[in-house]
């Protein structure tokens, strides 16, 4: 089994240590894996060491927030030199903006009629690698646990049986804190072309992550993104419908880009997503044939 997109606790919305993810991959039968944490490459060294000991082929990765055409996107860098100072600078840029953005998110959450305190969020984030960053998922976790909001209509879709209850924490983030939503706070992300250049300069290849999610309603931007030098497309994702997977697989073939597959497994923020769940209609052998030579297992 192949899974090239998962997150560790070095993501602000991840749960597990890199070593734990390797253990889970071994138990699930994943033999080719990559950890692609948000704006952070620190999981790679420990994961690579543990994967080697477990006989799992590991591809270093990172998922970087960036901007193209005025919209936020995610670009994955595979095969990167994860010890490069360039990735430390990417991490520091996000960390530097985190606290101010978090306070603004708190103000906007209160404007919805919810009472949330800084102490509650600080307690939840205390053991995080990103204690400065209060994510939409954290706001959801706090609100869904408050007894006084058990019957609040805005939270009903995220409770058991509700329309958004499959992944309640991240769905709440997407519905209220994502770009264009009422609690969104702008963060200064680098231009996509700069991120692609950094990945290339550090021996990596750049892949457009889950385009069925980020390009929805903006499909016309794909040609421009490809022209920036994107090397591959994550055609197979847990977010994609079979139709979207087919569309992006065909787009990759048409433009001579390789395809990747990834579950985007996080743990508690996305409980409905399992390792290896990436909606691929290709066999592992077919997926391997489409990967660049340097990413293929050597055992």
Residue pLDDT, tens place only, 245-280: 999 999 999 999 999 999 999 999 999 899 999 988
Where does a domain end: 121, 145, 176? 176
Residue pLDDT, tens place only, 12-62: 999 999 999 999 999 999 999 999 999 999 999 999 999 999 999 999 999
253: CATH: 3.20.20.140
pLDDT of residue 162: 97
- Together in a domain, 87 and 113: no
- Together in a domain, 291 and 195: yes
Cβ atoms of 105 and 88 within 8 Å: the answer is no
- Together in a domain, 211 and 80: yes
Please tell me what DSSP assigns to residue 166: S
> Is 247 contained in some domain?
yes
- Together in a domain, 240 and 171: no
Average pLDDT of the residues of the chain: 95
pLDDT of residue 299: 47
- Together in a domain, 109 and 218: no
> Is 33 contained in some domain?
yes
- Together in a domain, 195 and 149: no
Where does a domain end: 176, 202, 236? 176
> Is 183 contained in some domain?
no
- Together in a domain, 31 and 162: no
232: CB partners within 8 A, 6+ apart: 78, 205, 206, 207, 208, 252, 257, 258, 259, 260, 292
What is the average per-residue pLDDT within 204-223? 95
Q: Which residues of 99-129 are buried (b: 16+ CB within 10 A; e: fewer)?
A: eebbeebbebbeeeebebeeebbeebbeebb
172 pLDDT higher than 50: yes
298 pLDDT higher than 80: no
> Is 182 contained in some domain?
no
> Is 80 contained in some domain?
yes
243: CB partners within 8 A, 6+ apart: none
> Is 105 contained in some domain?
yes
> Is 251 contained in some domain?
yes
- Together in a domain, 71 and 202: yes
Where does a domain end: 176, 205, 228? 176
- Together in a domain, 22 and 142: no
Q: If pLDDT is split at 50, 70 and 90, which confidence band does 136 have?
A: very high
- Together in a domain, 220 and 252: yes
Place of tokens 């994609």: 240
Residue pLDDT, tens place only, 86-120: 999 999 999 999 989 999 999 999 999 999 999 99
Share of the chain above pLDDT 90, in %: 93
What is the average per-residue pLDDT within 139-163? 97
Q: What domain count does the chain have?
A: 2
- Together in a domain, 45 and 167: no
Cβ atoms of 276 and 3 within 8 Å: the answer is yes
> Is 184 contained in some domain?
no
- Together in a domain, 193 and 291: yes
Q: Domain containing 269: what range?
A: 2-91+189-295
> What is d(CA 204, CA 209) in angstroms, rounded to the nearest whole number?
15
């Amino acid at each position: 089994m192949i899974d090239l997109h998962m997150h560790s606790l070095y993501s602000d919305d991840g749960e597990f240590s890199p070593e734990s993810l390797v253990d889970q991959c071994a138990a699930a039968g994943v033999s080719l894996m990559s950890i692609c944490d948000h704006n952070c490459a620190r999981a790679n060294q420990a994961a690579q060491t543990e994967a080697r000991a477990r006989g799992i082929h590991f591809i270093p990765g990172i998922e970087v927030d960036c901007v193209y055409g005025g919209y936020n996107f995610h670009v994955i860098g595979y095969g990167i030199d994860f010890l490069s100072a360039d990735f430390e600078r990417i991490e520091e840029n996000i960390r530097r903006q985190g606290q101010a953005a978090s306070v603004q998110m708190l103000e906007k959450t209160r404007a919805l009629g919810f009472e949330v305190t800084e102490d509650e969020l600080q307690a939840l984030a205390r053991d995080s690698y990103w204690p400065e960053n209060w994510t939409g998922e954290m706001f959801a976790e706090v609100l869904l646990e408050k007894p006084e909001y058990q019957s609040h209509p805005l939270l009903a879709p995220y409770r058991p049986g509700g329309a958004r209850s499959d992944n309640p924490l991240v769905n709440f983030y997407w519905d209220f804190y994502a770009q264009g939503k009422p609690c969104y706070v702008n963060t200064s992300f680098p231009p996509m072309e700069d991120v692609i250049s950094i990945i290339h300069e550090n021996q990596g290849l750049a892949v457009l992550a889950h385009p069925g999610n980020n390009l929805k309603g903006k499909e016309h931007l794909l040609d421009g993104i490809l022209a920036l030098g994107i090397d591959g497309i994550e055609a197979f994702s847990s977010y994609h419908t079979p139709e979207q997977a087919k569309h992006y697989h065909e787009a990759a073939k048409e433009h001579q880009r390789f395809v990747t597959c990834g579950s985007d497994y996080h743990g508690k923020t996305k409980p409905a997503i399992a390792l290896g769940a990436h909606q691929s209609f290709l066999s592992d052998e077919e997926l391997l044939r489409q990967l660049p030579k340097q990413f293929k297992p050597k055992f």
